[in-house]
Amino acid sequence: MKKIIECVPNFSEGRDMNIIKQITDAIESVEGARLLNVDPGKGTNRTVVTFVGDENAVVEAAYKAITKAAELIDMSKHKGEHPRFGATDVCPFIPIANATMEDCIACAKELGERVGHTLHIPVYLYEYAASAPHRKNLASIRAGEYEGIAQKIKLPEWKPDFGPALFNERNGNIAVGARDFLVAYNANLNTTSVRRANSVAFDVREAGRKVKNDKGEEVNEPGACKAVKGIGWYIPEYGVAQVSMNLTNINTTPVHVAFDACVTSAYNRGMRVTGSELVGLIPLNAMLDAGKYFLEKQQRSTGVSEDELIKIAIKSMGLDELTPFDPGKRIIEYTLQDANSSPLVNMSLKKFADETASESPAPGGGSIAAYLGALGISLGTMVANLSSHKKGWDDRWKEFSDWAEKGQAIKDQLIKMVDEDTRAFNKIMDALGLPKSTDTEKTMRKQAIQEATHYAIEIPLRVMQLSLSSFDIIKAMAETGNPNSVSDAGVGALCARSAVYGAYLNVKINAAGYEDKAYVEQTLKHANEMLTKTFELEKQVLEIVNNKIG
């Protein structure tokens, strides 16, 4: 599978869009490099660019961008709120998919050597690519900033890893590294005071602040959040001070935890967090976890859709206070999505029905079975959410929230199966269309047909499993859920039963063309067992429903 490496260079220009455009054009000129996000800041006079590609594409695109920045940005004239020491200030590589940190270290070293040798810009390797322990931390490398380079670069311990050990007045230095995914995140305060913003930053960041103990000795007092770096600054374009943070490990300190830590500190110091700002991109799970966190604080069900969780996260942290927050452009998984990867799911209900009714053989019964399963568990999940919010049932909200969250997970998987079943059918058709003029071609065609047929069996089998598993939730909702919605649980059971039976028919018809008889026998036995269990569960649910309806 293709490696995906993310590169997030920061350029010391955030005001001249013509310069920024020329830099990003250089990135997009490289085949295989995909530009995901461009985030300029006027106050910081800095632009964070995010792009992805394989190891060759990201190195080439980064080099072209650094070359263009060196041509267009004069550091001797640069002013901005953000710490900086070069035209291209930092250029980290981050493993995203099928790539390792070792791959990213190799990218950093290759790029660093090339930039130092051909562009004559001093290069420092940092984080996982660092050549010495004292160079691991970016803040240590950049200490003194651009204005301090002339003296610092003469020190033996700060000789560049690549390039001349000379002050490059126009371009400054560049830090090239390999690191884990980092979230750049700012909390907005209702103050213009940098000093007050710094007081909150010191409360929150892992490094904390220097204080004197009872003996008058200076000691370090750690902040509330590990794996968080932070400073306070004032942003003229917004007219507010911010706590600017780098969350270096969002598993240790998630975004919502850092946000709440800022809220607490600001409140204790007579201020208020009015919202927040994301710089660059964020992983989907970070937004989903934030949405669940804030819903739990409200004692509301977390078993809502992905879109709703993201909406709650945006509103709870005020991510749209300063500028609009478009999930499609700010969540990394969404930016990587192929718009054509789920054509059926993205259709309107009418268009989906029209396409099903057309002369095209796909979508067929398998896709419809998957969608029926999704509708069935959606009804069960709806009852769980209604029960979680039912007046007088406040002490049971978490019980029903857990059911709803399980239901959403099953629903999301079944929705994916709608398009996957059609893809499975198309694989068979593609295999049947392969040439068969020679013995070799016939052998290859036969093998392709068998592989496609195996896949076409496994997909509806998975639909059966998922739809059968939904009965746990549907039955529980019929028994203990909101009695006003018991009929909805009943309809959910009917849909789930039809999904299992419909998928079973697809397993059976595809199995007829598969030559591995042992596999076919075992698979059909399993499928029949699931079908029998489904009929029994459907009967139990409908008995409960009819007894309650009367």
Catalytic (active site) residue 421: yes
Task: For 53-79, give one letter per residue: b (16+ CB within 10 A) or e.
Answer: bbbbbbbbbbbbbbbbbbbbbebeebe
* DSSP-based three-state secondary structure for 389: coil
Residue ranges of the alpha helices (H) in 338-485? 349-357, 365-388, 397-432, 439-480
Cβ atoms within 10 Å of 185's Cβ, excluding its own: 27
CB 50 within 8 A of CB 280: yes
- Amino acid at residue number 547: N
Going from the C-alpha of 391 to that of each of 273, 277, 303, 343, the distances in angstroms are 32, 36, 18, 40
CA distance 413 to 437: 41
Distances (CA, A) of 140 to 104, 126, 145: 21, 10, 10
Q: Residue 445, class by beta-carbon neighbours within 10 Å (0-12 exposed, 13-18 middle, 19+ buried)?
A: middle
- The active-site residue out of 82, 89, 203, 256 is 82
Q: What is the largest CA-CA distance in the chain?
A: 91
* DSSP-assigned letters across all residues of 1-31: ---EEEE--EES-SS-HHHHHHHHHHHHTST
Parallel, antiparallel, or unpaired: how do β-strands 88-97 and 174-178 relate? parallel
- Give me the helix-helix angle, 306-317 and 284-297, nearest 10°: 70
Site of tokens 């007829």: 512
Residue 412 bears catalytic tag: no
**Torsion angles phi and psi, residue 8, rounded to 5:** -130, 70
Residues forming beta bridges with residue 86, ordered by sequence position: 172
* Contacts (Cβ under 8 Å, ≥6 apart) of 112: 123, 125, 129, 161, 162, 176
Whether the CB-CB separation of 7 and 93 falls below 8 Å is answered with yes
Rounded to whole angstroms, how far apart are CA atoms 451 and 427? 9
Nearest Cα residue to 27 out of 5, 44, 52: 52
Q: Report d(CA 403, CA 413) in Å as an integer.
A: 16
Closest CA relative to residue 158, chosen from 179, 142, 177: 142
CA distance 68 to 28: 13
- Marked catalytic residue, from 39, 89, 419, 421: 421
| Catalytic residue set | 82, 421
